[in-house]
């Protein structure tokens, strides 16, 4: 009898103490529908930074951004040409960081530790 009660109570305890964002913080999100998991509201719009070593010109940053715009869940991106980084904002419930990395690599640029797609044709003057 005792063993049959311990497992459900342990599960309830784990769910009760699991951390989640503040509901007030979720209300301030840019998106009106924050992600809901159990009883927690989590950020829907998240950002990630990607190191793109060959992105040295504004044309290269624009070229990559145009490829990213086609992704479902893409929101915005900003580039820092001095550090050769791209900061991408996206909907965390729709797309993942690895999908963005893959899109950058498929556009013909190495990103983080992922090599560029050798079959990608980057137009002249972009690099």
In this predicted structure, what is the pLDDT of residue 83? 97
Helix axes 97-106, 58-68, angle to 10 degrees: 120
**Higher model confidence: residue 78 or residue 28?**
78
β pairing state of 45-51 and 35-37? unpaired
Task: List the domains of the chain with CATH numbers.
Answer: 1-43 (no CATH), 44-118 (3.30.70.100)
Task: Quote the CA–CA distance of 9 and 78 in Å, as a whole number.
Answer: 47
| CA 117, chain centre distance (Å) | 20
Calculate what percentage of the chain has a pLDDT beyond 90: 60
In this predicted structure, what is the pLDDT of residue 29? 46
Count CB atoms within 10 A of the CB of residue 51. 13
DSSP state of 116: P
């Amino acid at each position: 009898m005792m063993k049959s009660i311990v497992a459900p109570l342990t599960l309830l305890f784990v769910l009760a103490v699991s951390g989640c964002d503040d509901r007030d913080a979720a209300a301030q999100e840019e998106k009106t529908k924050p992600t809901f998991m159990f009883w927690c509201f989590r950020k829907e719009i998240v950002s990630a930074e990607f190191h793109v070593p060959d992105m040295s010109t504004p044309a290269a940053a624009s070229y990559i951004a145009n490829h990213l715009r086609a992704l479902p869940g893409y929101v915005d991106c900003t580039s820092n040409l001095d550090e050769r980084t791209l900061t991408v904002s996206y909907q965390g419930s729709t797309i993942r960081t690895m999908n963005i990395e893959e899109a950058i690599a498929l556009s013909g640029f190495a990103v983080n530790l992922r090599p560029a797609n050798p079959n990608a044709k980057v137009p002249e003057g972009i690099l």
